Structure 1
Amino acid sequence: MVHTTDTRKPYSGSKKTIVLAFDVGTTFSGVSYAILEPGEIPKIHGVTRFPGQEHVAGNSKIPTMMYYDKDGVMKAAGAEADGAAIADLAEDDGWLKAELFKLRLRPRSMKLKMNGMRLPSLPRGKGPVQVFGDFLGYLFRCTRNFIIDTHANGAALWQAVENDLQFVLSHPNGWEGAQQTKMRRAAIYGGLIPDTDAGKARIRFVTEGEASLHACVLNGLANDVLSNHAGHGFLVADAGGGTLDISSYAIRGTTPLVMEEIAPPDCVFAGSVFVSRRAREFLEEKLKRSKYGTPDSLDHITKRFDETTKRLFRDKKELQYVSFGSPLDKDTTVGIRAGQLKLTGNEVAALFEPSIEAAVASIRYQIESTGGIVKSVWLVGGFAASTWLFSQLQERLAPMGVTVSRPDSQTSKAVADGAIGFYCDHHVSARMSKFMYGVEFLREFNPLDPDHVARQDRMCELPSGPRLLADAFDCILARSIRVKESTVFTRKYCTEVTSLSTLTVFEVEIWCYRGGDTIPQWIQRQADNFTTLCVVQADLSPLAGSAQPKQSRSGKSYWTIVFSVEIHFGLTEFKARIKWVDNVRTSWEDEIVSGAILCFDRY
């Protein structure tokens, strides 16, 4: 089986451009790009030189962190912000360190367990979108400088394409439309695109799980599965700083390579940063009676734990050491001697355990939901470099007949490279719906149904006469449904209006239900598992000329309006629209919603 780069088709566009992929991780970030020449096969490049890292050849990742002054002005970012000189200057001038800000974009339905610790404060006058935008802008400027400095005639190349640059932004599997909207706003704030419809259309999104899948194909990790794929599913586990993104696929064709998602993707907060947070909490308790229990000392020891012990840990039977000080640092009552803190292997293993348990539980659920056809797990992402995580997944999944592999190449590059692969190769032809999507409708009141009687306060009467109950849920797209990119889910509805003027601002709510596979009868507006996904508005006033008035029982005029709600869910962005027929001509208003709602008239 040949690699994707050998089978990738030439770029079919009519003019040269560049596609940039930004992987803003919880703890580390990177950028990949491809120069798209008409008729030429695209090649993926990585930005391997950032300010503050010039001495490290080929390093493709920088810390996701920034410093802001007291007025909310960014003063340093990335590798530059991680140096000792900047840390001293920040302390002297009272700068604020911004980190872990990606976690602030998470959906409200995804609960974040911080073990009693809080996310760092945001700079003055800035919200999560603006901080995210500042970091995107920094990555964008670094990328521009790298391309100009690295490629022959780089300045001329950039000038020729800068107004038509294409972008791919990756995000965790659990992020939804609302998060995509925030990321697009951040891209505008950071200066990547103008705030126009044409500018917004230059942004595409891909989940980190799907981007990692393309990266596995790019680096050859998938070759064994691709060469013998009959009845063999596989799972990509992207273990990053904040999230573990789980996606399951099966191969449907090899010439060209076509894959389909075979289970709703999962996303859990089980990344490496939570091991560090648990370590900080553990050390605070262990050293609280020692002179090394001050906040500054704890921060330093935790950082050294991150840089050495956490990365190298492989055997809970062996003693572990955190080297943090000089030979003069000593406190034998807490296990410190010659500048090293001694820990047992079991103590370190316990810091990993909640993340490992969450990973195994999520992977097992995916395997069971696919009927056990998943036989391979590909572990990628920055946290995949942990030998302990890798060995524990191998050991605990072996009884299920599942093998766990990870690429020899740098796994932390997977998402950025894979996002370019997604843009160029587009291997995934069908995805699984993660949740249930539908609209509110009015259900006819049944006086013999106790549930209906209990809801009498929500009853209304149509001009045509029927008594109806509000808050009923009509499912348009159920959970775990295979959705091809060309598939459209449509339901036809009608409503009655007593004034044609209301048609100028007609809108419908689309609801998302996260409570399982059983279709609920009613929308529970205050429940965590029910949220509005998007609002689609339409101007139906053209129907006023053809609508025929009818008489209600009270003698008032009303009009019946018929329309359809369509959901397009096969792409990585949700799209919904209202469609209607106006004098035999089909019309529609649509909305690419990064989270929205379609709602009905209230009678």
Structure 2
Amino acid sequence: MKPASGTRKPYIGNTRSLVLALDVGTTFSGVSYAILEPGEVPKIHGVTRFPGQEHVAGNSKIPSIMYYDQNGELKAAGAEAESASTAALAEDEGWMKAELFKLRLRPKTMKLKMNGMRLAPLPHGKTAVDVFGDFLSYLFRCTRSFIIDTHANGHALWRAVEHDIQFVLSHPNGWEGAQQSKMRRAAAYGGLIPDTDEGRARIRFVTEGEASLHACVLNGLAADVLQNPSGHGFIVADAGGGTLDISSYAIRGTSPLVIEEIAPPDCVFAGSVFVSRRARAFLGEKLKNSKYGTSDSLDHITKRFDETTKRLFRDSKELQFVPFGSPLDKDLTVGIRGGQLKLTGAEVAALFEPSIESAVLSIKSQIDSSGGAVKSVWLVGGFAASPWLFSQLQERLSRYRVTVSRPDTQTSKAVADGAIGFYCDHHVSARVSKFMYGVEYLREFDPKDEEHNARKHRLFEMPSGPRLLPDAFDCILARGVKVKESNVFSRKYCTEVTNLSTLSVFEVEIWCYRGGDTIPKWIHRSSEVFSTLCYVRADLSPLAGSATAKSGRGGKTYWTIVFSIEIHFGLTEFKARIKWNDNVCHAPSCVLFLS
């Protein structure tokens, strides 16, 4: 089986173009790109030089960190923000450190467990979208410099493509349309695209799970499965700094390669940063009566724990040491000797345990959702390098007859490379809906139904006469449905208006239900399992000319308007639109909709 790059088709565009994949991670970020030459097969490149990291050959990731001054002006970012000189200057000048800012974009339904610690406040005058946009802008500037300096005729190349660059932004599996909208706004704020319809159309999104799948295919990691596509499913587990993104797939064809999602993807806050947060809280308690219990000391020891113990830990029965100081640092009462803090293996294992437990539960849920089709797990991402995470997943998942493997090649930048692979190769032909999507409609009142009588105080009559109840839920797309890219889910509705001028600002709210597979009867607006996914707006005033006036209750004039709601879900972006026509509404086949 050839790697994906061996089966990739030549670029069919008429002019040279450039596609950039910006992977803004919770803790580390990276950029990959491809120069699209007409008639040539695109090749993926990585940005391997960043300011402050020139001495590290081939390093493709930089810390997702920035410093702002007291006026909210960006002063340092990436590797430069981690230098000793920057840290000293930041302390002298009172700069504010921005880190973990990606977590601020999370959906409200995804709760963070920070062990009593909070995200740092935002810089002066900045929103979460602004900060994200500043970092995108920094990555973009670094990429521009790298391409100009690395490629022959780099300046001419950049001038030829700079006004029509295509961008692929990756995000956790749990991010939705609202988060994609924020990322688009951030890209415009950061100057990557103009804030126009044409500019926004240059942004595409891919989930980190799907990007990681493409990276696995690119690197030949899927060779065994591709050579023997017996229908067995596999899971790509992208373990990063903030999230663990779990996606399940099966091979449906090899010439060309066709892959389908076989279970709704999952996303849990179980990344390596939460091991660090638990370590910070644990060390704070352990060292609270020691001179090493100050905030600065704890920050330093936790940083050293991240750099050494967390990365190397592999045995819960062996003593662990955190080297943080000089031979003169000593406090035997808390286990510090010779500049090292002694911890038991069990103490360190406990810091990993919630993340490992979350990962196992999520993967087990995927195995169940796939009907037992999943036989293997590919562990990728920066956190995948942890020997303890890897060995524990192997041990705990073996009871489900699932093998866990970890690629030998460097996959910490799998998402950025895979995002380019997604753009060029597009292997995934079908995805599975994560939640249930629908709209609010008006349900006809049944005086014999106790539930209806309990809602009687909200009863009202339509101009044509029927007595109806609001807040009824009509499902357009159910959870767990396999959706191909060409699929459109559509439902026809009608409504009655007493003033045709309202048609110019017609608006429909699309609801998302996260409560399971059973279609709910009613929308509970205060419940966390319901949320507004988006609003779809349309100008239906052209219908006014063909609408027939009718005489309703009490001689009041009204018009019946027929329209459809269409949902497109086959791509990595959710899209919805109102489709209208001038048909007559033949009740009861149309649902009366509350506009």
Cα offset for 1:483? 0.5
Tell me whether 398-407 or 275-284 shows the greater mean CA deviation: 398-407
Code of the residue aligned with 2:54 in structure 1: it is: E
Code of the residue aligned with 2:132 in structure 1: it is: F
Tell me, in whole angstroms, the C-alpha distance in 1 between the residues paired with 2:145 and 2:511.
Answer: 44
Tell me, in whole angstroms, the C-alpha distance in 2 between the residues paired with 1:582 and 1:148.
Answer: 55
What are the Cα deviations for residues 301-343 of structure 1, in whole angstroms up to 9, with x where unaligned? 0000000000000111111100000000011111110000011
Cα offset for 1:231? 2.3
Aligned length: 589
Answer whether contact 1:507 1:600 (CA < 8 A) is retained.
no
Code of the residue aligned with 1:433 in structure 2: it is: S
Q: Is 2:455 the counterpart of 1:451?
A: no
Code of the residue aligned with 1:363 in structure 2: it is: I
2:511 aligns to what? 511
1:552 aligns to what? 552
1:290 aligns to what? 290
2:329 aligns to what? 329
2:42 aligns to what? 42
Cα offset for 1:582? 4.0
Answer whether contact 1:459 1:469 (CA < 8 A) is retained.
yes
**Structure 1 gap segments, 5+ residues each:** 585-598
1:202 aligns to what? 202
Tell me, in whole angstroms, the C-alpha distance in 1 between the residues paired with 2:151 and 2:371.
Answer: 49
Cα offset for 1:602? 5.0
Code of the residue aligned with 2:490 in structure 1: it is: T
Cα offset for 1:601? 6.6
2:587 aligns to what? none
1:4 aligns to what? 4
Tell me, in whole angstroms, the C-alpha distance in 2 between the residues paired with 1:118 and 1:195.
Answer: 33
Tell me, in whole angstroms, the C-alpha distance in 2 between the residues paired with 1:13 and 1:399.
Answer: 50
Deviating above 2 A after TM superposition, structure 1's stretches of 4 or more consecutive aligned residues are 599-603
Answer whether contact 2:231 2:252 (CA < 8 A) is retained.
no
Pair 79,489 (structure 1): closer, same or farther in 2 beyond 3 Å: same
Tell me, in whole angstroms, the C-alpha distance in 2 between the residues paired with 1:541 and 1:290.
Answer: 73
Cα offset for 1:52? 0.2
Matches within 5 A, 1:515-554: 515-554=515-554
Tell me, in whole angstroms, the C-alpha distance in 2 between the residues paired with 1:446 and 1:582.
Answer: 31
Tell me whether 280-289 or 544-553 shows the greater mean CA deviation: 544-553
Tell me whether 573-582 or 465-474 shows the greater mean CA deviation: 573-582
Tell me whether 544-553 or 91-100 shows the greater mean CA deviation: 544-553
TM normalised by structure 2 equals 0.98
Tell me, in whole angstroms, the C-alpha distance in 1 between the residues paired with 2:266 and 2:438.
Answer: 21
Tell me, in whole angstroms, the C-alpha distance in 2 between the residues paired with 1:581 and 1:98.
Answer: 50
1:69 aligns to what? 69
Cα offset for 1:95? 0.3
Tell me, in whole angstroms, the C-alpha distance in 2 between the residues paired with 1:600 and 1:389.
Answer: 53
Code of the residue aligned with 1:50 in structure 2: it is: F
Cα offset for 1:410? 1.1
Tell me, in whole angstroms, the C-alpha distance in 1 between the residues paired with 2:583 and 2:311.
Answer: 67
2:320 aligns to what? 320
Code of the residue aligned with 1:123 in structure 2: it is: P
Cα offset for 1:553? 2.9
Code of the residue aligned with 1:503 in structure 2: it is: L
Pair 411,600 (structure 1): closer, same or farther in 2 beyond 3 Å: farther
- What is the DSSP-based 3-state SS (H/G/I as helix, E as strand, rest coil) of the residue aligned with 1:411? coil
**Structure 2 gap segments, 5+ residues each:** 585-590
Code of the residue aligned with 2:123 in structure 1: it is: P
1:272 aligns to what? 272
1:343 aligns to what? 343
Answer whether contact 2:441 2:593 (CA < 8 A) is retained.
no
1:251 aligns to what? 251
Code of the residue aligned with 2:193 in structure 1: it is: I
Tell me, in whole angstroms, the C-alpha distance in 2 between the residues paired with 1:199 and 1:56.
Answer: 35
Answer whether contact 1:492 1:564 (CA < 8 A) is retained.
yes
Code of the residue aligned with 1:17 in structure 2: it is: S
1:561 aligns to what? 561
Tell me, in whole angstroms, the C-alpha distance in 2 between the residues paired with 1:461 and 1:576.
Answer: 29
What are the Cα deviations for residues 151-186 of structure 1, in whole angstroms up to 9, with x where unaligned? 000010000000000000000000000000000000
Cα offset for 1:499? 1.3
Code of the residue aligned with 1:326 in structure 2: it is: S
2:489 aligns to what? 489
Tell me, in whole angstroms, the C-alpha distance in 2 between the residues paired with 1:128 and 1:349.
Answer: 33
Q: Is 2:235 the counterpart of 1:215?
A: no
Answer whether contact 1:219 1:407 (CA < 8 A) is retained.
no
Answer whether contact 1:32 1:416 (CA < 8 A) is retained.
yes
Tell me, in whole angstroms, the C-alpha distance in 2 between the residues paired with 1:77 and 1:23.
Answer: 15
- What is the DSSP-based 3-state SS (H/G/I as helix, E as strand, rest coil) of the residue aligned with 2:517? coil
Tell me, in whole angstroms, the C-alpha distance in 2 between the residues paired with 1:326 and 1:352.
Answer: 27
